Structure 1
Amino acid sequence: MTTPLPLHPNETLLWEGAPVPGLHRRRLTSFLMLFGLPFLLIGVALFCYSLLLYPQAADLPDGGNALVTTAFSLPFAAFGAFLVLGPIIEARTASRDVRYVLTTRAAYVQRTGRFPSLKVYPILPSTALELERGTRASTVWLHARVERDSDGDLGTTKAGFENIAEGEKVFGMIRDLQGKTE
């Protein structure tokens, strides 16, 4: 861990880890990247085309049209870049910026980097525990909350140890802790 965790005096460290580097959920990631590729290509092409037209503008309205087209292309290029490059950047930085710790009382998720945070999830007998197996890594969900979004629709927000190599081992350790806290 980059900074020491605020552990209680009778709390001991059981496991510490980080996400496995690389792309996970390849089908979803590939779909999103393919979906964003036309936005990126068209946005960049339109941007370059309008920049080429601007110096050739014969009068003020033609120059204004070239500038409007340039401004119009930027959101498309940005959206495409987010969908195409976002998963690659996230795959490279998640293993460096996220640390997981399991103690005898709680699970800690520490994020460093741009938006640092430390989240603590107590291990209780009523903790909603779920193991999601993957091909290269597994995810242990240990917190689920039903929330309403801005439209008023219900959605479930999950938190836990995402894409860890020792998913089954950690899942078993948490199950054992739940049995001891009854």
Structure 2
Amino acid sequence: MSSTDEWTDILDDGEEIIWQGRPDGAIALRPASLFEAAFGLFFSGFALFWMLGAFKSGGSFWMFGLLHFSVGLGIIFHAVFWSSYVRRNSWYTLTDRRAFIGTRLPLLGRKLKSYPLTGSTPLELVDGQPASVFFAERTKRGENGSTTVAVGFERIAEGREVYRMMRDVQARASERK
């Protein structure tokens, strides 16, 4: 079974795959993740300081600090390793009509998201080694409101080439109208 056979039930009639790839799985810290890691370090450091003080008082009351210490370590782990882990479990596909992002994560399962490419789809190339091509946005809700997150093919070696292919797809989509 070839890789295109696996797409038979997913692709529209006449739709063709023009590129497939995987993101770079290296750890890449962003300013926001550095802030998150610093917060986790402070959180776990304070819990450790509290546990040591409680331990000196005697008894087993110090163990209540283990939960906070563990949460702080979890925040640090998330900030440093999570985006890299997600990228290592992601696959990208570009067709002559859509972009697909597939992921396979524990507890969350397998997901395949499709993003149509039209003449009005905003494309952004973030050049670098590796480059990223963004083509959609999603809203991420948090405790203090919501933020907009760019969606795209992150940290790919062929960024400029994929960006050019997407522009070609856009041009053909505009011609079909």
**What band does the TM-score fall into relative to the shorter chain?**
0.7 to 0.9
Number of equivalences:
167
Q: Identify the match of residue 21 of structure 1 among 19, 22, 25.
A: 25
Specify the SS of the correspondent of 2:25. Answer: coil
Q: What is the TM-score of this pair, normalised by structure 2? A: 0.76
Residue 60 of structure 1 corresponds to which residue in structure 2?
none
Amino acid in structure 2 at the alignment position of 1:131: L
| In structure 2, distance between residues paired with 1:48 and 1:113 | 37
Residue 96 of structure 1 aligns with an amino acid whose one-letter code is: R
* Aligned residue type for 1:4: E
CA contact (8 A) 1:19 1:94 kept: no
2:174 maps to 1:172: no
Distance 1:165 1:95 in 2: 13
Could you say what secondary structure the match of 1:112 adopts? strand
Larger Rg: 1
Structure 1 unaligned blocks of 5 or more: 58-62
* Cα distance in structure 1, aligned partners of 2:123 and 2:148: 14
1-structure distance, mates of 2:90, 2:124:
20
TM-score for both structures, normalised by structure 1: 0.74
Inter-partner Cα distance in structure 2 for 1:9 and 1:78? 51
Matched residue, 2:118 = 124
Identity of matched residues, %: 26
Instruction: Please list every run of at least 4 consecutive aligned residues from structure 1 whose deviation after the TM superposition is greater than 6 angstroms.
Output: none
Deviation at 1:154, TM superposition (A): 6.7
1:33 Cα deviation from its structure 2 partner: 2.0
Structure 2 matches for 1:20-169, cutoff 5 A? 20-47=24-51, 50=54, 52=55, 56-57=58-59, 66=61, 70-71=63-64, 73-114=65-106, 115=108, 116-134=110-128, 136-144=129-137, 155-169=147-161
Q: 1:118 to 1:45 in 2, by over 3 A?
A: same
Structure with more strand by fraction:
2
Which secondary structure state, in structure 2, belongs to the residue aligned with residue 159 of structure 1? strand
